[in-house]
Chains A and B, each alone.
Chain A
Amino acid sequence: MVEVINLTKMYGNKVGVKNVSFTAQKGEIIGFLGPNGAGKTTTMNVITGCKPATEGRVLIAGYDIAEKPLEAKKHLGYLPEIPPIYPELKVKSYLKFICGLKGVGREKRESHIGEIMELVKIMDVKDRVIKNLSKGYRQRVGLAQALISKPDVLVLDEPTVGLDPKQIHEMRSLIKSLGKEHTIILSSHILAEVSMVCDRVIIIKKGEIAAIDTPENLSKNMASAECFTAKIKGPAEKILPLIKEIDGVLSVKLDKDNNDSKPEYLSYIIESKKSIDVRTPLFFKLAGLGYPIYEMKSVPINLEDIFLQLTAEEKERAEVN
């Protein structure tokens, strides 16, 4: 449904995005994840034809956005970062204007608008001037706009920014349900959101794709070590080397965040090889020496760590150079 081939966008000599390629199938939700300024919005602007690509192609439903813009855009709904609303219009007349813009037949408009207002839950503000709406409603009006004419492809740039927790939850489940009929490309810098909503994640940093996979695979493949915390009674200077001796332990350090209140129970973060469970030898060893373990808790490696890992690599490399 969406095909992006070697997309490069330069701003003068500065790289916006570089060699971005991916495809999105029908009914797939793809999440663009990256820190601010990584090139998410740039990519979306190029995909939707709001900015020209310096190199590469974008195909929407088989049509090149640069060569056949009208056909390509017929299959496209776009919610930019700032919802493109005209503050002086009323919600309903705004959506009517969008219908005209997207070529929805005159006789169908009324019912079509009603349907979409129902879907994004803005029925109660349909006769209000957009200027007077809250941020949450404006965002939903923006989404309604993107949904008019039921395009095959929805591009949503940070759709949950500025919403309150309840609205964020609603927006996410709405996007998830829309994903059944539409191909959705959304961007976010919130990891939980992307892993919750998306079928596939594209991690982007400094304009280049760092990883593309499902959220599960990303966590599985990227995690090279297992990690857990242990709370142990005893002096740290004796316990630290003891843990390090155990076969399979990669690293051990004091958990600084959790060691303020009771100095006799210290918390340690232990990283071990994936193949070896070090908890059994740890238990017997410390028990034998009279250092009781009060608590052991595994820490799952999540997308956040991978994300940080991927972005940190860059930094390390820069430091080496």
Chain B
Amino acid sequence: MTKVVVAMSGGVDSSVAAALLKEQGYDVIGMMLRLWSEPGKEDSNRCCTPDSMAQARRVAAKLDIPFYVIDAKSVFRETVVQYFLDGYARGETPNPCLICNRQIRWTFLLDHALALGADFMATGHYVRIQKAEGGRINLLRAVDRSKDQSYVLHVLNQEKLARALFPVGDYPKTEIRAIAEKHGLPTAARKDSQDLCFLAGEDYRNFLQRNAAEMLKPGEILTRDGRSIGEHNGLANYTIGQRKGLGIASLVPLYVLGKNSATNTLIVGTQEELGSRELTARDVNWLSGEIPGEPFPAEVKIRYTAKEAEALVTPINGNQAQVQFDAPQRDITAGQAAVFFQGDVMLGGGIII
């Protein structure tokens, strides 16, 4: 029997993923990762509270599948949390979920799944995979576009896709709830939160204050033409497009346009000055495993929650890509990922410089 490890969270999506695979005749094993939390906040990590662990265990018992928790605390701290801190230290707004998916879920956990003798690993992500001609595997957006999570999975590759199953990506969320009900599984999803699991429900600024206070150095706030108009309290406290909390008296609303970590200065300007027609992405991952030979039109998404925009993507310098939008885009933010689609197919993406 084909063996598959399901990464479970106790939530409705991964629970239904396990139920669907069991129904399809797979030999299913449930696994959950114990992730890192700040000392004293071990019960608040959104991804592995005692509560969600108990929930996942109950789901596994209901489905009559084995369930194991794997300790990932130190590898999570060394990779994901470090990436988060390093990103802010560089003046970027990092998205650690990308690293978590690449290094923790689809490397660390996948290795454990394979060691248990699994043929596949499944998650409750809303995406699909499709076998294309020539044996290539495509990552597709979810049927339910409003739930699509391909943004955070653009970091996969052919080798990992060959091991991946995403059973819920074929269904609209409403149907997933119905399936959960049918199997008597918990239907109450945890709040769809954009918060990072290790922030324990707090603002990321509090976390930085506690764990990397040294990076929060005050500096000048400048206009685009270099005029000093105030003082900021540490670049990491600001993100591109932010309006509130600048503490500057001004006739027109001012927005964060950019951050210069070399000079520790924050660049602000008016709404008209926001936005740009182009961006460059580094460390671009092409899901096909091949760098496209020439520029191509694509729909580009610059944040997890952003709407996709038409653009021309030009691969440059090995693993970079230049993106030329048809219309100016607001809030292009260094450290976030820009990802490229053609239709439903996720082509790849990289980190905005």
A and B: bona fide binding partners:
no
Enumerate chain B interface residues (CB-CB to A < 8 A): none
Enumerate chain A interface residues (CB-CB to B < 8 A): none
